[in-house]
C-alpha cells in the first residue's frame, strides 16, 4: 500500500509541475 501512496504522490507532483508549465506557456 505504501508503494501506491508513493506513486500517487509522484503523480500529483508531476501534475502540479505540468500545470505550472502550461500556465507559463499560456501567460507567454
Averaged pLDDT score across all residues of the chain: 92
What is the SS3 string spanning the chain? CHHHHHHHHHHHHHHHHHHHHHHHHHHC
Q: How far apart are CA 5 and CA 3, in angstroms?
A: 5
pLDDT confidence band for 13 (50 / 70 / 90): very high
What cell was used for 22? 502550461
CA–CA dist 15, 19 (Å, integer): 6
Average the pLDDT over 1-28 and give the result: 92
- Quote the pTM value: 0.55
Amino acid at each position: 500500500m505504501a508503494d501506491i501512496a508513493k506513486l500517487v504522490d509522484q503523480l500529483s507532483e508531476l501534475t502540479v509541475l505540468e500545470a505550472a508549465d502550461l500556465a507559463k506557456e499560456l501567460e507567454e
